Amino acid sequence: MTSADPAPSHHPPPAGAGADLGLLSPMRGAAEATGDAAVLQAMLDAEAALARAQAALGLVPAEAAGAVSAAARVEAFDLPDLVERARSGGNPVIPLVEDLREAAAPYGEHVHRGATSQDIVDTALMLVAHRTLGPVLADVARLVDGLTRLAAEHRDTPMAARTLTQQAVPTTFGLKAAGWRKLATDARDRLTAARRSLPAQLGGAAGTLAAFRPAAGASGPRAEVALRLPGRFAAELGLAEPGLPWHVLRTPVADLAGALAFTAGALGKLAADVLVLSRTEIGEVSEGVGGGSSSMPHKHNPVRATMIAAAARQVPQLAATLYASLAAEDERPSGAWHAEWQPLRAALRLVAGAARDAAELVADLRVHPDRMRANLTIPGDPSPAPALVDRALATRTAQAPDGEATRPDRTPAGEITHDRDKAPR
């Protein structure tokens, strides 16, 4: 060993060192809802729902559905072992079915009956997305409420509008907040629509449902029972019924990708404005809870806005991968489907974190009207900016007891009821 060689490490990595706990991902959220254990439980939920749906249509014994449902508990399975065994077949369902059949004995033969691995993975990822987006939408609702209050409170607070980095004409901070709110409500609407339309996946080996027909000689039309099964399967899981098996018809994933990318960008716009307005030289807003610096203790960094901005820069590229997987060959593709798994999970995590951070940022945001007035060097009248704020907030106008509409956070006489003007800088 020469003097230039690094000294060998005498500290082996701790157990579980391969796990991604988020050390380099402070901007992500929903780690538990999207983690490997959550995905495994979603796959188990899909297998159990399939058995119950088949039992309801007479395709498997009722006792089999009960046995599979009872066995489908994530804690009963060796996750690291499944991860290792999944490599040989290219997906985790193959070893999972082996273990679930053993756990559901003596009804193991009815596990995964007629399904293909993609049915289970696709359905599981739709379940994960559905479960993740519930809390995300709650955070977006908190954000919309916070922006509603902010826009109403600062309806008349003058500030400089800036175009191409330069002061343009006067506006009001309320109008800027109303614009953020519009993007947040647009994101909410797109996420809600995407969540409601997330479908189960069930098609069998080549998307024909052929393996789900009753045995020859069974009563009732054989094809009719198979056609009813996807709807029953979806209902068991609380997902939308698929019109067709969508193994290579990736509209659900593309629609979800679009909603996630839009949401990241919408929240990123808010963050970009906060980052500019909180510059030391401008000082028109500041985060109520800022971050410190490892070398400059005087700094009050806009950490939440920074994390949102980081997420907004990543999600579009992830969405691009998901859109690229639309071009999938044959009745099941090689590679296109597999390429979706990680980008979809990463996009869900980043949007979850951005929605959480945005709601917290707006709830604690400090607005400094004195700095806004001091910075405003362009003469002019900001009207009708306040009237535009009123119009923007009309979609969520509160109703007074006598039915008279009032602007949120303002008395009927128009007095501001929350005083952020005195917030310390």
CA distance 340 to 321: 7
CA-to-CA distance for 4 and 240, rounded, in angstroms? Answer: 62
Spatial contact of 311 and 253, defined as CB atoms under 8 Å apart: no
Cα gap 28→22, rounded to integer Å: 8
Residue 69 a catalytic site member: no
Say whether 293 is catalytic. Answer: yes
CA 163 – CA 175 distance, rounded (Å): 15
- Sign of dihedral through CA atoms 385, 387, 390, 392? negative
Give the amino acid at 62.
A
293, 334, 373, 391: the active-site residue: 293
How far apart CA 180 and CA 274 sit, in angstroms, is: 11
Catalytic residue among 131, 142, 332, 420: 332
How far is 105 from 19, CA to CA, in rounded Å?
32
* Residues noted as catalytic: 293, 332
